[in-house]
Amino acid sequence: MSPLQAGFPDLRIVHADDLAKLFGYARATSGFRRFCAENCITPVPGRGPYFDLKLVRHRLDVVQGLAPAAPDAAKPSLVEQRRRRLGSH
């Protein structure tokens, strides 16, 4: 374990291709990106194709009804809804 990882034991990020493989995709294809957009799974801001595994797990729990969504989460704007539907960021 690197000293950086030792300082942040709960911080785990994964590349989009590796996450896609966990979900059964060959790599981060448009189908994978659509799946992420539909389920509000977003990459780490400013880190390109990297995802925080803790946030991915939370979103999956919310989608499956295993965890409540954040109570103060505002309804996304119509533009944001369209972007999610079309799979663009």
pLDDT digit string, tens, across residues 40-88: 999 998 888 999 999 999 999 988 888 777 655 667 778 888 888 887 6
Predicted local distance difference test score (pLDDT) of residue 34: 93
Do 32 and 72 meet the contact criterion of CB atoms below 8 Å apart?
A: no
Residue type (1 letter), 54 = K
Do 33 and 24 meet the contact criterion of CB atoms below 8 Å apart?
A: no
- Res. 15 pLDDT band, cuts 50 70 90: very high
pTM score, whole prediction: 0.66
Tell me: pLDDT of 30 over 70.
yes
In 3D space, the residue among 30, 33, 28 whose CA is nearest the CA of residue 15 turns out to be 28
Looking at the DSSP assignment, which residues form a beta bridge with residue 15?
A: 50
